[in-house]
Amino acid sequence: MAEDIEKTRYSDEELAEFKAIILDKLEKAKKDYELLRASITHTMSNDTEDTSPTFKVLEEGAATLSKEESGRLAQRQLKFIQHLEAALVRIENKTYGICRETGKLIPKERLKIVPHATLSIEAKEQHNK
């Protein structure tokens, strides 16, 4: 445990692990973003996909959202994508997982849940006060 306190950055192996998590979340986020964008612009074509049950549920769900709500969700999704992409840059720079306030390592458990985090829980709590 003392080793974790002494560490100033995550190892290349750990960074590769986080990169895989981020890339997976990024792929899902981009798909969600495209679905939202398509629901706003109604660019969905009537091909064989629109017969799949999942597509129908998404289509009906999207239809109930107003364009304004969909726009807000799309903006939020785009911001999330940008945060994930910034996290990938930090991985390349080997600064990933370091709290921008305290300079200490953000715990792995937090990064696995919020892989784009730039603040430790302590620093975040200070911000919220």
Kindly provide the b/e burial profile for residues 81-109, where b requires at least 16 CB atoms within 10 angstroms of the residue's own CB.
bebbeebbebbeeeebbbbeeeeebbeee
Report the distance separating Cα 69 and Cα 126, nearest Å. Answer: 31
User: Where along the chain do its domains lie?
Assistant: 10-95
User: Using an 8 Å Cβ cutoff, are 59 and 44 in contact?
Assistant: yes
Mean pLDDT taken over the chain? 84
Residue 41: per-residue pLDDT: 80
Tell whether the model's pLDDT for residue 30 goes beyond 70.
Answer: yes
Kindly state the average pLDDT of the residues 80-87. 97
* Helices of type H across 42-66: 53-64
Is the pLDDT at 44 greater than 80, yes or no? Answer: no
What are 93-109's pLDDT values in tens digits?
Answer: 999 999 999 999 999 99
